[in-house]
Amino acid sequence: MEGREEDGQLFGRAMCQAPEVDGVTYVDNGEPGDIIRVIIADTLLYEMEGE
């Protein structure tokens, strides 16, 4: 987990998402600094949503 958006939404990066190049993965659980396992539930234009 990398951090939170201004609205509080947690985000991080999947192994395939490079900083400043790719989007991020939004999740509902965890804290910034955590490494968590998620299932990708949906994809957006550049981002993914994990469960």
Hey, what domains does the chain have and what are their CATH numbers?
1-51 (2.40.50.140)
Per-residue pLDDT of the chain (51 residues), as tens digits, is: 999 999 999 999 999 999 889 999 999 999 999 999 999 999 999 999 999
Give residue 47's pLDDT: 94
Give residue 20's pLDDT: 87
Dihedral, CA of residue 19, residue 20, residue 22 and residue 25, to nearest 10: 60
Sorted by sequence, the CB contacts under 8 Å of residue 6 that are 6+ apart come out as: none
